[in-house]
Each structure stands twice: as structure tokens, then as C-alpha cells.
Amino acid sequence: MARTNDEARRAWQLLMRFFFRQRGQLPACGDQFGLSPVQCHVLHLLEPDDPMPMSRLAKTLSCDASNVTGLVDRLETRGLVERRPAAGDRRVRVLGLTPTGSRVRGELLRHVSGRPNPLTRLTPDERRALVRILERLLDEQDG
Amino acid sequence: MARTNDEARRAWQLLMRFFFRQRGQLPACGDQFGLSPVQCHVLHLLEPDDPMPMSRLAKTLSCDASNVTGLVDRLETRGLVERRPAAGDRRVRVLGLTPTGSRVRGELLRHVSGRPNPLTRLTPDERRALVRILERLLDEQDG
DNA sequence: TATTGTTATACTCTATAACTATA
DNA sequence: TATAGTTATAGAGTATAACAATA
């Protein structure tokens, strides 16, 4: 049990290190469009034809709802997203991509896919194992 | 090749999602000591009896050197780390843990190890696979 | 000339608390 | 009463540019 937690902590530490090390390459990705890492992530999360309420975005980002206001303000100023009224509950604002936002999102994904990143150096088996493990981690937390 | 990059992008997106989702539990960890997530990470990186130059910390965090100045200022104000002169090069400042910092670091690690986190729910095989993959990713970037 | 670290500046991210509108 | 979102505020993180000290 103690061993399990120690191993989990080790994995967590490695994840943190990997993340911070990768961070240096993230701005280069967003700089092209003048977007911060978080803004890129939001654009990635916001799939076309699948708008999401601001409260859901706050939950997905694990941050306070007040942050989402400013975050969306900045994305809206850039013309990438827009707030829309939600059907049925007039308190709710639903976030959708503008045509420009949809185009930039596509360019962003192509930009990421188009250049090799550290994950491409894993073997196919390793990549599949990593994806499967991450999917399990994300699934288990949904409940 | 295109397939490799798409899979790598998928893995990256999952990593991002996992990271943001986990973020909500990070502050609770640092709140106990009044530390931000980045400050916790620095404390984790700074092993006792293995001081590191500020420039190396900047490189490890993939951030500009000017950020490290403020980051270390705040940790120093809390009495957790201290700047020391480096032997041989008077430009260099080496970061070391104070006795308090060393103690807090220990408590932080015990705090993380002591409570179950999502990674503990992986099977032992999955955890080992994850650790191995992350170690490979980190090793390969050192060169 | 190049490197280490700092300062000044501006912007983004983040949490807390108080608030409005709606449910 | 409870929830969705905003505003105000404060602090932390981040990059850029200019700078001093040292190599």
C-alpha cells in the first residue's frame, strides 16, 4: 500500500517534469496565433458543433468560474469564440467557435500534428499503452 | 507517418486533459503550506544536498530566467530556500533548501504519498508501464 | 563578446468575495 | 435557497527588453 502510493508519487513527479519540460515548446505553438497555452487548450477542447456551457469549461479546467469570464473575454475579443444563450435556462451561456475560431483551431491541430514532438519517438506499442492508460485515468474520474 | 503524428497528438491532448483535471487537487496540497503548484514543484525538484544554479532551474522549468528571480524571492521570503554563491563563478547563484525548506519538502512528499490519488488506481503493470514511458520521454530529451 | 542574474513593464492566469439574474 | 455568470481585487506566473557584474 505504501509502495503503491510511492510508485504513484513517482509517476506523478515524472508527469510534472515532463510537463514543465514540454512547456517551452507550447508557446511557439500559440505564438503563431497570439494565444497562451491555456487559450490553445480551450480551443482544443471546444469542438466545432459541440458548444459547452461556461460552467462546464470551468469544471474541465478545474478552475473557478470567475476565471472563465476573463478567459472567454480574451478569446471573444480575438473573434475566436462567442457566447450564446442556452435553450431552456436563461442563466446559462454556451460557448461556441466562430468561423474564425474553427479555422484557427484547425490550423492549430495541423500545426501540432505536422511537426514531430517527443511523443512521436515512442514506439507504437508505447504510444498505445500511454493512450490507454490516460484514457483509463480520465474515465475513472468522470464518475 | 501522419498516423504517428495523429496518435502523438491524441496522447498529448489526453495528457493536457489529465493535467487540467488534476490541477484542482494540487492547490489543496500546497494550501497547507501556502505554496502555489509551481512552488511545490520547485521544492520537489530541489533535493536536499543537491543545490542547483538558478539558470538550471530556469531550464528545468522551461521558463525565462527573469521568472526565477521572483519565484525564488517568494520562496526565500518564506524561508524555504536560500541563494548561495557558487564556487568558481561569481556570477552564479546556487539554490539550496534551508532546514525549514527541507522539512516542508519532506512533509509535502509524505502528504502526497499518504493519500490516494488517481494514479494509485492503475494496476501495478500499468503504473510500471507509465513510469517507464515517462522515463524514456525525459531521458531522450536530455541529449 | 557572451553569460548570469536582476529590474522594469505588461499581460495572463488564478482564487476569493460580493453581486445580479435566473431557477 | 441554489445556481450561472460577472465584477472587483489581489497575488502569482510569464515573456520581453534593458541592464550590471562577471567570465
Please state, in angstroms and as integers, the Cα–Cα distance from residue B30 to each residue in B27, B35, B105, following that order. 5, 5, 11
Q: Is residue B135 part of a domain?
A: no
Chain A residues 51-80 with Cβ under 7 Å of strand D are 53-55, 58, 65-66, 68-70, 72-73
The residue segments making up the domain with residue A105 are 26-116
Residue B83 falls within a domain, yes or no? Answer: yes
pLDDT (average), residues B8-37: 85
Distances (CA, A) of B5 to B1, B22, B75, B138, B143: 6, 25, 40, 19, 22
**The pLDDT value given to residue B125:** 94
Q: Is residue A66 part of a domain?
A: yes
As a whole number, the mean pLDDT across chain A is 89
Is there a domain that residue B130 lies in?
no
What is the pLDDT averaged over residues B87-94?
A: 97
pLDDT for the residue B1? 59
Residue B132 forms part of a structural domain: no
Q: Would residue A141 count as lying in a domain?
A: no
Q: What pLDDT is recorded for position B143? A: 32
Chain pair A-B, CB pairs under 8 angstroms: 160
| Stated pTM of the model | 0.91
Average pLDDT over residues B59-72: 97
- Candidates B54, B79, B53; CA nearest to B66 is B54
Give A52's strand partners.
A95
Contact A117 B63 (CB under 8 A): no
Which CATH number goes with the domain that contains A43?
1.10.10.10
Q: Is residue A109 within 8 Å of A44, Cβ to Cβ?
A: yes
The answer on pLDDT for B27 being more than 80 is no
Tell me if B9 is assigned to some domain.
no
List strand D contacts in B 14-73 (CB < 7 A). 36-39, 61-64, 66-67, 70-71
* ∠ CA B101-B106-B109, rounded to 5°: 125
* Per-residue pLDDT tens over the stretch B121-136: 899 999 999 999 999 9
Give a yes or no: residue B84 inside a domain: yes
Q: How many domains does chain A have?
A: 1
For B69-80, b/e burial (b = at least 16 CB within 10 A) is: eebbeebeebeb
Q: pLDDT: is A119 or B75 the higher one?
A: B75
Please say whether the beta carbons of B10 and B18 come within 8 A. no
| CA nearest to nucleotide D22 C1': residue | B91
pLDDT attached to residue B34? 86
Give the neighbor-by-neighbor strand order of the sheet with B93-97. B52-53, B93-97, B81-85
